[in-house]
Structures are given as C-alpha cells and as structure tokens.
C-alpha cells in the first residue's frame, strides 16, 4: 500500500499564510520586570479576589447566559442603555465577532499600521482583505489616507486610540471630521483598549459620538486599567441594532463565571482602577524624559506604555533591556514598546541607559 498519509485537511490558504502571534523573547537573565504586554502592574483588589473565590465553589454551574447582569452594570457605568452594550471574552474576540458578522467574501477592511498585530488576522478570519495604511511619522493615524483607502467593497475601518504600539491618540475633532467623511454603510471601529489612561482634554472619548453615528463601534476592555487581562473581559458599545447582530454569534457563555464575577466586583472597586491608572500616568512623563535625555527617541504617549521608534537599533536596545532583566516588546526594524507602571521601572531604565551619552 503506497498511499501516503495526506495529513489533516488544510486550512484556507490565507489563514495558513498568517503570521504567528509573537511575545517577549527570552534573554540571558530572568525577566524581573515584565514590561512587554501592557498589563497592569499589580493584581486585582480584595473585592475581586473574594468574589471570584466564592464563585469558584459553584464552578459546576454555567455563567449567566449572555452576561446580562454584567452588560447592565457596564451600561450603567457609562450612561448607556444595556442594548447598546455587548460583553464577551475580551475586546479582541469582540472585534472577531464584529468583523465576522459584517464582512462578506471580497470585503475590504482599512486598518492603521503599525498598530495592533491582531487586526490583519481578524480581518482575514472574517474572509475579508486587509488594507493597511501607514501612520504619520509621529505615530498617529493618517486619517486622510485612511479615508482615501475606503472603496465600494469596504466593510469597516479600524482606528486605535491611543494606538498600540505608538501611544498616539486621536482628537475628538479629528474623529468627528473623519466620521463625517465616511459613508454610513462603512463601520468605523474605534479600539479604545487604552482609553482609561488618556489625559489629553482634546482626545476623543467615543461615547459622545455614538448618538449621531449608527456606524460607530467602540471596543473597550477590562484587561488594562482594570487589571483583569488573565480573565478575558471586553465590551463593545454601539447602536442597539448592531449589538443585536453581534450578540447572535457571541458564544452563549463567552464570559466565564469567574470573569463575570470579577468584572462586576472590579466595576464597583473603582479606587483600584484609579491606583493602576495613577501608577501609569505618574511614570509616563518622567520615563519619557529620562529616555530622551539619553538620546533615545520617544513618541508622546497617551497609553500605559511608551514607544521608541529606534528602527534598525530596536533589537539591540531590546536585548540591552533583556540583559538587565527588563522584558520589553521589540518590533524588529521598527521600535521597542515598554509598558509603564511597575514601581521599579524608572530605576531599572535609569541603569540601562546610564551607559548612553546624555544629550542636552
């Protein structure tokens, strides 16, 4: 019998061609400061830990179908109606559900680049074609070029503010002007994973634009400012009709019982969120100044990380950090992203850059 093992049935060619997700690289010494994944610098508060521990005792019970109580709590906090909210297993999953429910084969989705690496993957997963538009040199989106990239087949445009990994934010006026230009048949997805760290009073807030723009979708998460990345909770805010469509394909128990319980407690324990946000914002200016003083380029950030557009020197600086036990996220040939908030970060960075000449 010369039949060869044919292996498993192949995935769609455009799926096979996708890159694998990457994460921090191992260095020569153990990483003692983890600044590679934009996580909160400390764990959940006692309210969350107690509530989750209690809920664990009834882990044999399914969570509430459709996370109705959590959806209501989020809506109440934001001053929205619960039918404008969809909760699920992280904002990335919600982007997947949104694109799958709205794209057709042959659709295009315009997205910024460099931005969150998941965008082109989600777009391909939804049988659509990514149309990447390069950011401006300051790391912010080129909204004019993004508007120009919209064609008759465009199903959605993704904006990310503050943008991962550059940290640049969009202003309210810029997004409002963009929305006025985009045809109402095209979704405008505003990814707000880092919105809680924004301090610029001119920055887009998102919620204020929802009433006039039924094609606007906001994506938010409890992974960053609420410190619950490990539990996977995100929410989508949009027109009720759009939410109804997305809810049809969100898996019935997408938010696990522990995640749902933790989220409800975290939404009550706002002082804990504020401690995380303060730890980040307190470091943002000083860390930016420290790095610049030693001749390193740093883009002004509105997020819980800073971006160093080092180009060809990115890998070398990332390795220098790793050798000092500081885990960063290196984008080869582009730059290095360093998450903020760990109490020891400024001191460690200080000793890492101390070998570099100071510039006046």
> Which residues make up the interface to ligand PMP (CB under 6 A)?
38, 90-92, 116, 160, 164, 191, 193, 221, 223, 229, 234
Residue 135 CB, nearest distance to ligand PMP (Å)?
Answer: 13
Closest CA to 85 of 270, 273, 218, 260: 218
Give the span between the Cα atoms of 169 and 196, in whole angstroms. 12
Residue 167 CB, nearest distance to ligand PMP (Å)?
Answer: 11
Residues in contact with 355: Cβ distance below 8 Å, sequence separation at least 6, in sequence order: none
Residue 13 CB, nearest distance to ligand PMP (Å)?
Answer: 26
Residue 183 CB, nearest distance to ligand PMP (Å)?
Answer: 25
Give the span between the Cα atoms of 232 and 310, in whole angstroms. 32
Closest CA to 193 of 163, 213, 168, 216: 163
Q: Which residues pair with 219 in a beta bridge?
A: 191, 236
Closest CA to 117 of 100, 130, 104, 106: 130
**295: region left, alpha or beta (phi > 0 left; psi from -120 to 50 alpha):** left
Residue 229 CB, nearest distance to ligand PMP (Å)?
Answer: 6
Q: Select 193 or 291, whichever has its Cβ closest to ligand PMP.
A: 193
Residue 63 CB, nearest distance to ligand PMP (Å)?
Answer: 17
Residue 223 CB, nearest distance to ligand PMP (Å)?
Answer: 3
Encode 288-323: b = buried (16+ Cβ within 10 Å), e = exposed: bebbeebebebbbbbbbbbbbbbeebbbebbebbbe
Give the span between the Cα atoms of 51 and 7, in whole angstroms. 46
Q: Select 73 or 353, whichever has its Cβ closest to ligand PMP.
A: 73
Q: Select 122 or 352, whichever has its Cβ closest to ligand PMP.
A: 122
Q: Select 63 or 227, whichever has its Cβ closest to ligand PMP.
A: 227
Q: Select 303 or 353, whichever has its Cβ closest to ligand PMP.
A: 303
Q: Select 219 or 345, whichever has its Cβ closest to ligand PMP.
A: 219
Give the span between the Cα atoms of 126 and 97, in whole angstroms. 9
Q: Select 133 or 193, whichever has its Cβ closest to ligand PMP.
A: 193
Q: Tell me the Cα Rg of the chain.
A: 21
Closest CA to 301 of 143, 146, 138: 138
Cis ω before 165 (30° cut-off from 0) = yes
Q: Select 217 or 352, whichever has its Cβ closest to ligand PMP.
A: 217
Residue nearest to ligand PMP (CB): 90
Residue 38 CB, nearest distance to ligand PMP (Å)?
Answer: 6
Give the span between the Cα atoms of 234 and 63, in whole angstroms. 16
């Amino acid at each position: 019998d010369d039949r060869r093992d044919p292996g498993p049935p192949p995935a769609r060619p455009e799926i096979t061609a996708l890159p694998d997700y990457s994460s921090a690289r191992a260095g020569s010494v153990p990483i003692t400061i983890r600044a590679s994944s934009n996580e909160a610098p400390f764990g959940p508060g006692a309210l969350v830990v107690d509530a989750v521990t209690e809920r664990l005792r009834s882990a044999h019970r399914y969570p509430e179908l459709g996370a109705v109580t959590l959806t209501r709590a989020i809506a109440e906090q934001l001053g929205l109606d619960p039918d404008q909210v969809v909760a699920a297993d992280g904002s990335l999953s919600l982007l997947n559900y949104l694109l799958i429910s709205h794209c057709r084969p042959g659709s295009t989705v315009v997205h910024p680049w460099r931005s969150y690496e998941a965008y082109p993957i989600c777009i391909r997963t939804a049988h659509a074609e990514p149309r990447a538009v390069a950011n401006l040199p300051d790391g912010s989106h080129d909204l004019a070029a993004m508007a120009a990239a919209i064609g008759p087949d465009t199903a959605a445009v993704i904006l990310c503010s503050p943008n991962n990994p550059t940290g640049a934010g969009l202003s309210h006026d810029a997004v409002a002007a963009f929305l006025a230009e985009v045809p109402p048949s095209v979704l405008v997805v505003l990814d707000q994973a880092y919105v809680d760290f924004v301090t610029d009073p001119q920055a887009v807030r998102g919620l204020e634009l929802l009433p006039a723009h039924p094609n606007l979708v906001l994506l938010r998460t409890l992974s960053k400012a609420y410190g619950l990345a490990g539990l996977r909770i995100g929410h989508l805010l949009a027109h009720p009709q759009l939410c109804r469509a997305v809810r049809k394909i969100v898996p019935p128990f997408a938010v696990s019982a522990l995640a749902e319980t933790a989220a409800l407690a975290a939404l009550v324990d706002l002082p804990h969120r504020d401690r995380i946000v303060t730890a980040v914002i307190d470091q943002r200016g000083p860390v930016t100044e420290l790095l610049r003083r030693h001749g390193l380029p740093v883009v002004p950030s509105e997020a819980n990380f800073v971006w160093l557009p080092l180009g060809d020197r990115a890998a070398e600086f990332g390795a220098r950090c790793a050798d000092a036990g500081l885990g960063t996220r290196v984008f080869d040939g582009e730059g290095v992203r360093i998450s903020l908030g760990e109490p020891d970060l400024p001191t460690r960075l200080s000793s890492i850059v101390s070998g570099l000449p100071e510039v006046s």
